[in-house]
Amino acid sequence: MAQQVEGAVAAPKRRQARGERRIAELLEAAGQVFAESGYSATTTNAIAARAGVSPGTLYQYFPNKDAIADALAERFAAELETLQRLLVPDLAALPLDELLSRVLDPMLRFQLENPACPVLFMGPDVPQRLADVHAPLQASLLAGVADLLGALAPQLQPDELQRSAAVALHMFKGVLPLLVTTPPAELPALVEEIKTMFLGYFTVLIGRG
Amino acid sequence: MAQQVEGAVAAPKRRQARGERRIAELLEAAGQVFAESGYSATTTNAIAARAGVSPGTLYQYFPNKDAIADALAERFAAELETLQRLLVPDLAALPLDELLSRVLDPMLRFQLENPACPVLFMGPDVPQRLADVHAPLQASLLAGVADLLGALAPQLQPDELQRSAAVALHMFKGVLPLLVTTPPAELPALVEEIKTMFLGYFTVLIGRG
DNA sequence: CATGAACGCGAGTCATTGCTCGCATTTACT
DNA sequence: AGTAAATGCGAGCAATGACTCGCGTTCATG
């Protein structure tokens, strides 16, 4: 991030100010185009055009199309890993609706600001390597949800917890497209509705003797 | 469908026996490949190869790639329209779990047998024309769900019904990937879990005075 | 069997798109 | 100002994939 000093560390590229900005712009543009068109249908030329630069400029900062997706996905992975730390079983002590707010609010905000995230993580047309790279994160998220559910509903068996956690994650994924297509004015109501959805499901899970 | 007669109607192609079979094989293959790779990432050559024919043969029956997706989508649309007729508000008289079984069982079976359906109807990379063609069906499904919900929870306002119906539909979409990746032995349990998910959500919606 | 039409093939064409290269411009530092 | 490196461009190169074409095969009919 900070290499104004001439001594420099690791990657001692000199004039990084513009470069870093360009990279950020390119990733932003890539995120938009990926979100709109999916992975295979987006062209590098479209990304460059969206960022307002020429194809050559794009390829000065990224060796190929995959690398762009990688860089975006890595950023997403880092943020998701941070968000995942919210999924501690201690939360189970809270009232269910507050628990849901604590977990869902940051998660939904992140997804709203990064609509390309689900495309790159779960699109059917992403390069296999990218899918492999993020399988562990998916698994870890799943485990986090399963643990939380286990704390909420101790009577459930491990395989039931796995299944319920998987269903919960897929419910979440499923409503993401709604987030980005909903006009901002109706967002709060939608977020409430999503919480209601989880509230209902989890209540049934907990209430099963 | 049945044109053994030589008089013929509309499209009086003569030797349809083999041809119809090929078309069915090609659509079946296309469904598989679309489901695996999404629209833009599937190549017509891959479809032909999956069907065990040459590219030229494929293009004898379909003018272009879009037409293949169209044919598949039209078939899906027809089946979905049939399934949608199950969504009558009369169902609201039934116990909630039986209502859910009546609606979800056929729906889930259809989706399980046609994994390409969500890809073609909701993929971000389908040609715009295809998306337009099926927007009405989507809207009609949404209205059906909203009506059913209205019968179940009469105290909800129209805009709340719309929102809840949209969320319900997206929940459904979201769990579809689970269906096709779940080993057959665990399918019944998954289906039960999906019903539980809707049961919880709808119960909260109904129970709100 | 003869014949014409449907069927089938797969190498080849053409447009698209990922990507490169040579050169011009900007910037940081002397 | 002088410089060298970083940045920028956009016309093109090459690979991919949608689609065609000419020819051979199979089948329903007379």
> What are A95-150's pLDDT values in tens digits?
999 999 999 999 999 999 999 999 999 999 999 889 988 999 999 999 999 999 99
- pLDDT band for position A13 (cuts 50, 70, 90): low
Q: Which residue is nearest to nucleotide D10 (CA to C1')?
A: A54
CB B37 within 8 A of CB A124: yes
How many angstroms separate the Cα of A208 from the Cα of each of A127, A154, A168, A205? 41, 10, 17, 6
* Mean pLDDT (chain A, rounded): 92
Contacts of A44 (CB under 8 A, 6+ apart): A55, A58, A59, A65, A68
For residue B5, what pLDDT is reported? 31
For residue B34, what pLDDT is reported? 98
Average pLDDT over residues A171-187: 97
* B172 vs A contacts (CB less than 8 Å): 174
Query: Which domains are delineated in chain A?
Result: 1-63 (1.10.10.60), 66-209 (1.10.357)
| CA nearest to B176 within chain A | A170
Q: Cα(A29)–Cα(A52) distance, rounded to whole angstroms?
A: 9
Report pLDDT digits (tens) over A51-95.
999 999 999 999 999 999 999 999 999 999 999 999 999 999 999
* Amino acid occupying residue A42: T
* Chain D bases closer than 7 angstroms to a protein Cβ: 5-12, 17-22, 27-29
Q: A154 CA, C18 C1': separation in Å?
A: 53
Chain A interface with B: residues with Cβ < 8 Å: 35-41, 119, 122-125, 163-164, 166-167, 170-175, 177-178, 186, 189-190, 193-194, 196-197, 199-205
Q: What pTM does this model have?
A: 0.91
Given a cut of 50, the residues of chain B with pLDDT beneath it are: 1-12
Average pLDDT over residues A18-47: 96
* B175 vs A contacts (CB less than 8 Å): 167, 170-171, 174
For residue A209, what pLDDT is reported? 61
Average pLDDT over residues A8-14: 43
For residue B84, what pLDDT is reported? 95
Gap from A206 CA to chain B (nearest CA, Å): 11
- pLDDT over threshold 70, residue A3: no
Please report residues contacting nucleic strand D, using a CB cutoff of 7 A: A 13-19, 22, 52-57, 59-60; B 6, 14-15, 17-18, 42-45, 55-56, 59, 63-66
Nearest alpha-carbon partner for A48 in A61, A35, A39, A38: A61
Helix (H, G, I), strand (E, B) or coil at A185: helix
For residue A14, what pLDDT is reported? 60
How many angstroms separate the Cα of B113 from the Cα of each of B21, B31, B66, B76, B137? 19, 10, 22, 11, 20
Average pLDDT over residues A181-206: 98
Q: Where are the alpha helices (DSSP H) in chain B?
A: 16-37, 44-51, 55-61, 65-84, 96-113, 116-122, 128-152, 158-181, 187-206
